[in-house]
Structure 1
Amino acid sequence: MATGLANMNDVIDDISSCIRSANTKELSKYFSSTVSMTLLNDEGIYSRVQAEIILRDFFGKNTPTDVKIAHRLDSNPSFRYVVLNLETSKDTYRVSYKLTNNDNSFQVTEFRVESVY
């Protein structure tokens, strides 16, 4: 298993591929115990399990067809910020998430899905 900086950057790619494949079970492993989540017009603080259920429901209605990383901020040792363009069978969304370094592993603390107008 990779350690150090390489591992931290891989987290971004791993999360992107979870989103691309709509694998919420794998994706939720990256969530902190609570996640601040905005999904279109709904927002709240959810447990890891609740966040996974909400995303599973979203992906059930919006099958991902493509994911492109639009922006990544990964130079700070204590957090990462990523913006993805998510194309689904129905629409295009902007997905952004913030990872916070917790005991040398990055965890998703904020996750947003917004419509692209």
Structure 2
Amino acid sequence: MKKTLRTIFLLTLIAGLMSFRYLGILDDVIGAMKAGSSDQLARYFDNVVEITMPDKSNSYSKSQAEMIMKDFFNNYKVKSFDVLHKGDNGSSNYCIGNLQTKDGKFRTTLFVKQKGDKQFLQEIRIEAQAP
């Protein structure tokens, strides 16, 4: 009985520690959004990143995605990014938040996916919200 309880405790502890590890990457991505920093954000990009914005939607290479986000942050100066929800689905994590800029508010969804022993930002959705 003691052995079974010890095993359950260890498995729960390991699972909890692994989930914190994954959320750390998502937290770094959120920090880059709060800073309005395309170069910080690009550190976590996968080789191909799907970006959806009010005026464009496509899959971009890592370097193209960085330029798209740089243009966005130059046009819309970030005031704040408030996380509404974080979640995970197996090997992927996501975050839904409100990005407040000088020129408007955007509902933003970020998707991070596990590949091997690393996680990468694979998708960014930025949708304009009515004032």
- Note whether the superposition's TM-score is higher than 0.5: yes
Aligned-residue Cα RMSD (Å) equals 1.3
1:86 maps onto 2:99 in alignment: yes
Structure with more contact order per residue of length (Cα contacts < 8 Å, sep ≥ 6): 1
Paired amino acid for 1:55: M
Whole-Å separation in 2 of the counterparts to 1:12 and 1:108: 8
Higher helix share: 2
Q: Deviations over 1:57-110 (max 9, x none)?
A: 010011111111111113x33011111100011100011011111112211111
Aligned match for 1:105, one of 105, 114, 118: 118
Whole-Å separation in 1 of the counterparts to 2:101 and 2:77: 5
1:13 maps onto 2:21 in alignment: no
TM-score for both structures, normalised by structure 1: 0.91
Residue 129 of structure 2 corresponds to: 116
* TM-fit CA distance, 1:40: 1.3
Name the % identity.
25
Choose 1 or 2 for highest CA Rg: 2
Whole-Å separation in 1 of the counterparts to 2:61 and 2:87: 25
Counterpart of 2:99 in 1: which secondary structure? Answer: strand
1:46 maps onto 2:60 in alignment: yes
Tell me, which stretches of 5 or more residues in structure 1 are unaligned? none
Paired amino acid for 1:56: K
Any residues of structure 2 matched to 1:15-34 within 5 Å, and which?
15-34=29-48
Any residues of structure 2 matched to 1:49-64 within 5 Å, and which?
49-64=63-78
TM-score for both structures, normalised by structure 2: 0.81
Q: Deviations over 1:3-62 (max 9, x none)?
A: 733221111211111011111111111111001110113111100110110010010011
